Amino acid sequence: MSILLSGLINIINAAYAQSIIKIDGSSTVYPITKAVADKFQIAKKNTIKVTVNISGSGGGFKKFCRGEIDIVNASRPILKNEIKDCKNSRVQFVEIPVAFDALTVAVHPENTWSTTMTVAELKKMWEPAAQGKISKWNQINPAWPDESFKLYGADTDSGTFDYFTEAIVGKIKSSRDDFTESENDNVLVEGVASNKNGLGFFGFAYYIEDQTKVTAVAINNGKGGVLPSVETVENGNYQPLSRPIFIYVNAKATEKPEIKELVEFYMKNAILLVKEAGFFPLPPRAYITMMEHFNKKRVGTVFNGVSAVGLTIDELVRREGRLEYDNY
């Protein structure tokens, strides 16, 4: 009897394990995917468990390419070294952009001098050569105070860090390292909010949630200062800090009915949930196209292992709508 009971328990446990969907990765994409996961579990009456954790885009891809998770949240496209890791582990993936984000540079509300900054000024502040040499506002702009600034940014394993350094400094992961870093965007917001001379960067959703605590900096990319907003992201004027964000699905995992149901639920509810989470949805047709790609198991990426700095929503939709991906 004990042998039969043990066998029955093993069968039940195996069935239960198959109903768990594991997601990890970007803290930026987390609010969207977590909202999707919560509503999906309710819709399925909790017969399917979805775990959503945060380890940064880079940390998430490491787990994803080892086959440890089903889906990775990513605030940037998969990079060449990550494609190689996945290939070595025979992990194929379906790339699905889910929204756009406006990476927001923010300062303390009492900061009245740097509410507009050029890309060159930000680069002078953040580039590796600034470490040990550039520490005061007036070293960035002579009209600004002779006071030391305090920098806050995403941790170096984050896709947000990767995107910001490439967009502002000009090279991915190229930055001074004497700044306060965290994988938790709320920590960065609180850091800026508690320091008159603080400046940090994080996802737009975290700024919107705490806009009474911090002030967004208008980015001047040669055409005057532009603040992050629905309008400036949709019309492509908020550059170079407007960016697509993604989920990547393990192609083998797409064979599981619960994974297909989750992705279908994600695509059908994306516009509403993306907006509720404080991000910018793609056009409705884009989500239909992404679901078609998923159903066809169109594996690979349209980014060839490099980032998407300067990409607009329209350009993303055209690129993802191509007949063939850059397979790997």
Report the CATH number that the domain containing residue 125 is assigned in CATH: 3.40.190.10
**Is the residue at 290 inside a domain?**
yes
Whether pLDDT at 1 is above 70: no
Shared domain for 66 and 131, answered yes or no, is no
Inside any domain, residue 34: yes
Q: DSSP assignment of 115-134, as one string?
A: SEEEHHHHHHHHSGGGTTT-
pLDDT in tens, 29-66: 999 999 999 999 999 999 999 999 999 999 999 999 99
Q: Can you tell me the mean pLDDT for 124-136?
A: 98
Query: Is 326 a domain residue?
Result: no
pLDDT for 136-190, tens place per residue? 999 999 999 999 999 999 999 899 999 999 999 999 999 999 999 998 999 999 9
Whole-angstrom distance, CA of residue 130 vs CA of residue 111: 21
Tell whether 237 is covered by a domain.
no
Q: Are 112 and 90 part of one and the same domain?
A: no
- Does any domain span residue 202? yes
Please report whether residue 293 resides in a domain.
Answer: yes
Q: Given a cut of 90, is residue 73 above it in pLDDT?
A: yes
Q: Which of 227, 253, 278 is the last residue of a domain?
A: 227
Output the pLDDT for position 223. Answer: 87
pLDDT at 157: 87
Torsion angle of alpha carbons 213, 217, 218, 221, nearest 10°? Answer: -160
Contacts of 245 (CB under 8 A, 6+ apart): 26, 28, 29, 32, 73, 74, 75, 76, 97, 98, 99, 100, 101, 279
From 227, 259, 288, the end of a domain falls on: 227
pTM listed for this prediction: 0.87
Percent of the chain with pLDDT over 90: 87
pLDDT at 320: 87
Looking at every residue in the chain, the average pLDDT score rounds to 92
The total of structural domains in the chain comes to 2
* Whole-number pLDDT of residue 220: 97
pLDDT at residue 2 in the model:
57
Q: State mean pLDDT over 108-121.
A: 97
Q: Quote the domain boundaries for residue 293.
A: 2-99+245-320
Same domain, 218 and 134: yes
DSSP SS3 for 306: coil
Q: Which of 227, 262, 287 is the last residue of a domain?
A: 227
Nearest C-alpha neighbor of 102 from the set 239, 2, 215 = 239
